[in-house]
């Protein structure tokens, strides 16, 4: 019952969000376009509900082609690939606002597991049977793992938190996550990838395969 209500609520709130936040989104788009060449929106393939790939939308915060240089998918503190506008919209999470369109399309939810890359931390075929449960629901702009460590949490633990959410999803839990997210955004807590988190991704993949 709640899953049906959740989808209806997601649609209404994301539509209202786009309308209310449209001035901020427009100003962000203009700032990005003025500062650097390239598209305003960054599209990236992620894994959604059922492990089905979809394109997630974000405001571009890095120079074009940054994913193929430097530290790849990870962006750490003082990353020179991040533009000046990018630093601001990342710190305020404004870069995530285009995902309201993903919600309208049905790709995502306001709250749910953050959708991983199709190849990182590992391909869909390398997730264990237990880990695959994180794909039982639509991915979210924010989620249980994000308010319990965010980018500081190692991948195996992130996935554990995501699976726990899918099994305990409720209106009250979503409200709790929403308020915790607001606090995280205002304090900019746990918003930087660490070298340790990035370095352990490959070893954790091997652990996951060994557990299958």
Q: Dihedral of CA 187/178/128/123: which sign?
A: negative
| Beta bridge partners of residue 142, listed in sequence order | 111
- Residue 169 three-state SS: coil
Percent of the chain with pLDDT over 90: 69
pLDDT 10s digits, 17-54: 999 999 999 999 999 999 988 999 999 999 999 999 99
Query: Which two tokens mark 118?
Result: 């199709």
pLDDT 10s digits, 125-175: 999 999 999 999 999 999 999 999 877 789 999 999 999 999 999 999 999
Q: What is the pTM of this model?
A: 0.83
Q: What is the pLDDT of residue 106?
A: 96
Buried b vs exposed e over 52-68: b needs ≥16 C-beta within 10 Å?
eebebbbbbbbbeebbe
Instruction: Fill in the DSSP letter of residue 41.
Output: E
φ and ψ of 162, to 5 deg: -65, -40
CB of 165 closer than 8 Å to CB of 136: no
pLDDT at 196 over 80: no
Query: Which two tokens mark 119?
Result: 């190849």
């Amino acid at each position: 019952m709640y899953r049906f209500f959740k989808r209806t609520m997601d649609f209404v709130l994301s539509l209202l969000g786009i309308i209310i936040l449209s001035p901020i989104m427009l100003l962000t788009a203009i700032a990005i376009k003025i500062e650097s060449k390239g598209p305003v929106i960054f599209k990236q393939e992620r894994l959604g509900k059922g492990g089905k790939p979809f394109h997630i939308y974000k405001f571009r915060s890095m120079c074009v082609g940054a994913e193929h240089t430097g530290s790849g998918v990870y962006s750490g503190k003082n990353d020179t690939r991040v533009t000046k506008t990018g630093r601001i919209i990342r710190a305020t999470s404004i870069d995530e606002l285009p995902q309201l369109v993903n919600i309208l399309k049905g790709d995502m939810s306001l709250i749910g597991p953050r959708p991983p890359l199709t190849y990182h931390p590992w391909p869909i075929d390398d997730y264990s049977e237990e880990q695959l449960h994180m794909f039982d629901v639509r991915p979210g702009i924010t989620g249980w793992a994000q308010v319990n460590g965010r980018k500081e949490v190692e991948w195996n633990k992130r996935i554990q938190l995501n699976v726990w959410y899918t099994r305990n999803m409720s209106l009250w839990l979503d409200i709790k996550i929403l308020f915790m997210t607001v606090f995280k955004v205002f304090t900019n807590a746990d918003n930087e990838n660490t070298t340790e988190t990035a370095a352990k991704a490959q070893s954790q993949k091997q652990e996951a395969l060994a557990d299958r």
